[in-house]
Structure 1
């Protein structure tokens, strides 16, 4: 995301508008941003913690949004709307269904 500081408020409002539309459409599940002020920790099975993160996520920035959609094609459409609002590409992932959840 490479947006001038003076345009960030407009980007935030555009992104929130897409989320409002997803809520109105009944597809929004939840979402949020990554708190950059809190360092990540790795927690082992024994409960010990180290200040670290997975190598591939060292530069993770931003947040995420979970939508429940009928198809991957529809998911791509929503991701494109979010990408346009945020002015940057969005990574699209699919959750695996857990019948115990």
Structure 2
């Protein structure tokens, strides 16, 4: 089985205020189905109220992030699935629930992770 990251940036959700609650419930319903199917690994949303920090090997912390990930926000989940085709199907279900396209990425297999 392969792990897949399904995600979207916060500003991709172009949903009217009165639709936010329904989109949230629809996405949670898909996640509940993934949990029931035994394919859910973990997921959540990035807390935009807490600034990211860069942590060095000596445990030093500075506020900020890599330039490439400055815009990393929104929601994500990791599902463990038998194929990319299955991952596309789950990503499509989440896209319908969240009312925005989902980015799909595959994790490289590492026997120790």
CA distance in 2 between partners of 1:60 and 1:85 (Å) = 21
CA distance in 1 between partners of 2:17 and 2:72 (Å) = 19
Q: How does 1:1-101 map to 2 (within 5 A)?
A: 1-101=13-113
- RMSD of aligned Cα (Å): 1.2
Which consecutive residues of structure 1, in runs of 5 or more, have no partner in the other structure? Answer: none
Structure 1 runs of 4+ with >2 Å offset: none
* Matched positions, count: 101
List per-residue Cα deviations over 1:34-93 (Å, max 9, x = no partner): 111100011122221111112222222212101110001110110011011001111111
List per-residue Cα deviations over 1:13-49 (Å, max 9, x = no partner): 0000111111122211111111111000111222211
Secondary structure of the residue aligned to 1:31 is strand
TM-score by length of 1: 0.91
TM-score by length of 2: 0.82
CA distance in 1 between partners of 2:15 and 2:72 (Å) = 17
CA distance in 2 between partners of 1:65 and 1:71 (Å) = 16
CA distance in 2 between partners of 1:63 and 1:50 (Å) = 24
Determine which structure has greater relative contact order: mean sequence separation of CA pairs < 8 Å that are 6+ residues apart, divided by chain length.
Answer: 2
More strand by share: 2
